Chain A
Amino acid sequence: MTMLRENQTAVVARNEWWADGDASEPYEAGWASEAMVFLRALDAQGEGGRAVVQVSPDGLRWVDEGTRFDAPDRGQVAFARVREFGQWLRVRMELPKGRRVKVLLTYNLKS
């Protein structure tokens, strides 16, 4: 029997207001070789800033993976492609003072 690739859409953060330094919960997906990281702004205040993809050896300690993208404005969806991220993923916000984004963070993961 042909085995199809595992494919999951994970909604990792939903309807949460994020400010500078806020990050998503750790998400474990060592089975996946690729991820699309979608960040939708359900609402937003202020302008500018960016989202930073982070990886981790253990889900406890985080380092920048190197991928970063502009934080979306209200109603917008921003995304990034990530590969070879190991086992753990999270997204951390780097936002100017007064900027907040109400996020819907979605990973599409494929084996």
Chain B
Amino acid sequence: MLGLDRFDPMKRIICFDDFDRGFCGWTQLVGNYEHDLDSMLPGYAQHTQPQLSNVSHWDAGTHGSVDGTYALKVATRARAGAQNTAIKRLTFRKPGPIRLEFYFTFKPEATELVLSETDVRSWGFLYDLQQGDLGDRGGSGDRVMPHFRFLNATGGKHLQRWQYKDQTTEFKPLGTQGKTVTHYHLAPEGWKDLPGGEQKLCYNEIPTKVNWHYLRFDFDLRTMRALELQCNDRTYDVREAAPIVIPAMRNLWCMLNMVFFVETDVDKRAMLYIDSVCLSGEF
């Protein structure tokens, strides 16, 4: 298929999403609630819909994507610490190795005529997974959420390093029916540096010039452990980077959700653009 040749997929293509073909099932991550939207945690309430962007700027017009016009855009609000996400929800049929690959770039909103390279705090990706109901432990398996982010900057310091997270926040019950809970796994606390995970990425020279980057993440759905992370010319062994593991939930068997997220460090919108995504598996 056109465009697939820039990926290195495993044997089976689970999905190949080029945003020149539309949203391809990527949507907004709405938080859990019961009876009243006010019960949604603030971290989720701030989320908005992802957009199909042609990556245009006030000074140079349309930039376009890797091989066409459109990319998926995730944009935060213009408030320091604000986050936003995009999600695609699948289930898996074979608990084995899977590979996530995508082309991305990130930039702050070009509201100032300065370089602004430390305005985006971080961006990243995660899986939200749950073992099958007839899994190794007879249906009492785990929900597993590997999180990785590129910590670009905090407080004006250009840190540029990979991090992972192995703990979420406490669970909070919602409503009155005893069926719905929530937790904020994207909380800013709890991120750990990936050993040797410093990496300087191409940012370019003004906030309206973008360069596309490649990322690959290998994970094993059988062992529920991360295997390897590649970003451009660097490859990291991430087998020691534990995922978040929490008890299985009653309705999430074989869940395979993919999430992209972005966070701003200043009162300015941060943008994560995804040109295309390929999810493949060894089956």
Residues of B219-276 contacting chain A, CB below 8 A: 269
Q: Contact between B70 and A31 (Cβ–Cβ < 8 Å)?
A: yes
The answer for the CA separation of A31 and B54 in the assembled complex, in Å, is 9
B75: interface (CB < 8 Å): yes
Query: Which residues from A are CB-within-8-Å of B40?
Result: 15
A42: interface (CB < 8 Å): yes
Q: Contact between A6 and B37 (Cβ–Cβ < 8 Å)?
A: no
Query: Which residues from B are CB-within-8-Å of A58?
Result: 56-58
Query: Which residues from B are CB-within-8-Å of A13?
Result: 48
How far, in Å, is A109 (CB) from chain B's closest CB? 9
B109: interface (CB < 8 Å): yes
Residues of B within 8 A of A (CB): 22-23, 28, 30, 37-38, 40, 45, 48-49, 51-54, 56-58, 70, 73, 75, 77, 109-111, 269
A63: interface (CB < 8 Å): no
Query: Which residues from A are CB-within-8-Å of B77?
Result: 25
A27: interface (CB < 8 Å): yes
The answer for the CA separation of A42 and B165 in the assembled complex, in Å, is 36
The answer for the CA separation of A29 and B111 in the assembled complex, in Å, is 20
Residue pairs across A and B with CB atoms within 8 Å: the count is 54
How far, in Å, is B274 (CB) from chain A's closest CB? 14
Knowing A11-B28, A14-B37, A42-B37, the reply to whether A30 touches B109 (Cβ < 8 A) is: no
Q: Contact between A28 and B57 (Cβ–Cβ < 8 Å)?
A: no
Q: Across the interface, name the chain A residue whose C-beta is closest to B38.
A: A15
What are 20 A-B interface contacts by the 8 Å CB criterion?
Answer: A6-B22, A6-B52, A8-B49, A8-B52, A11-B30, A12-B49, A14-B30, A14-B37, A28-B51, A28-B53, A28-B73, A29-B51, A29-B52, A31-B54, A58-B56, A58-B58, A59-B109, A60-B109, A87-B54, A87-B56
Q: Contact between B22 and A14 (Cβ–Cβ < 8 Å)?
A: no
Q: Across the interface, name the chain B residue whose C-beta is closest to A14.
A: B37
Q: Across the interface, name the chain B residue whose C-beta is closest to A11.
A: B49
How far, in Å, is A60 (CB) from chain B's closest CB? 6
Residues of A1-56 contacting chain B, CB below 8 A: 6, 8, 10-15, 25-31, 42
Interface centre among B30, B48, B53, B269 (most CB of A within 10 A): B48
A96: interface (CB < 8 Å): no
How far, in Å, is B67 (CB) from chain A's closest CB? 16
Interface centre among B54, B56, B70 (most CB of A within 10 A): B56
The answer for the CA separation of A57 and B56 in the assembled complex, in Å, is 9
Interface centre among A8, A12, A25, A87 (most CB of B within 10 A): A25
How far, in Å, is B18 (CB) from chain A's closest CB? 14
Interface 0/1 of A71-105, CB less than 8 Å to B: 00000000000000001000000000000000000
